[in-house]
Amino acid sequence: MAPGTKIGADLSGNVVDLRTYRGMICSLMYLTSSRPDIMFSKCLCARYQASPKESHMSAVKRIFRYLKGTADLGLWYPKDTGFELITYLDADHAGCMLDKKSTSGHIQFLGDKLVSWASKKQLCVSISTAKAEYVAAASCCSQVLWMRTQLRDYGFQFNKIPIYCDSKSAISISANLVHHTKTKHIDVRYHFIKDNVEKGGVRKRTSDYI
């Protein structure tokens, strides 16, 4: 999917076969277990399974054409690399044309090995990029803490796990209690990342990877 692509409900478009469209989406869902590069595009197209139109079908076919041309791509897991737990996150502010909700995305590495990734539309509407990044950070933090618990069973200990974020405002909110009064409208469950930063379980870093 081309960067910046916006897909709407397309109420005036021609309706396509519902079963065919859903079958194509299900096929892509299986592929996301080994192709994280199509995760966001698949999630975007999956939002219109209730009433798919020709524009939605064209977007899905574009993903299949991309997969056909990149069949040799895959994940590489070298054995002689580090084993530190590192994570990156990002958010697409107000990217959904239906309800203006943002989309969270995050990935987790063990050394140089990509082991977990996700892309999901947020449950709340964020009024700024900083808020969208902050909500994405909360989701990412949940995944990191779960992974830390699982790895602890195998004898690996991780503290102050770095979470790379390209929003200095979101980092400031999670690290500074003074900003709490400015973020009261964010649901309480998203503030637990601040608690984990204070406890030293995770630490947020600025990243220029985008």
Residues 73-86, mean pLDDT to the nearest whole number: 87
Measured distance CA(1)–CA(56) in Å, rounded: 12
Tell me the pLDDT band of 110, cut-offs 50, 70 and 90: very high
pLDDT at residue 210 is higher than 80: no
pLDDT tens for residues 179-207? 556 666 676 666 666 777 777 777 756 66
Determine the pLDDT at residue 209. 40
- Percentage, residues of the chain above pLDDT 90: 50
Q: Which of 160, 165, 169, 84 is nearest to 131 (CA)?
A: 169
pLDDT tens for residues 3-55? 777 888 888 989 999 999 999 999 999 999 999 999 999 999 999 999 999 99
Backbone angles phi, psi at 156, to 5 degrees: -100, 130
pLDDT tens for residues 116-155? 999 999 988 888 888 899 889 988 999 999 999 999 999 9
**Predicted model pTM:** 0.82
Torsion of CA 160, 166, 169, 175, to 10 degrees: 0
Q: CA dist 7 to 55, 92, 102, 193, Å? A: 8, 14, 14, 31
Residues 73-81, mean pLDDT to the nearest whole number: 86
- Would you call 165 helix, strand, or coil by DSSP? strand
Determine the pLDDT at residue 206. 67
Q: Where are the domains of the chain?
A: 18-69, 85-206
Backbone angles phi, psi at 103, to 5 degrees: -120, 130
> What is the fold of 85-206?
Nucleotidyltransferase; domain 5 (3.30.420)
Tell me the pLDDT band of 160, cut-offs 50, 70 and 90: confident
pLDDT at residue 208 is higher than 60: no
Residues 161, 86: contact at Cβ < 8 Å? yes
Measured distance CA(136)–CA(102) in Å, rounded: 9
* Nearby residues of 161 by Cβ (< 8 Å), 6 or more positions away: 85, 86, 87, 144, 148, 201, 202, 203
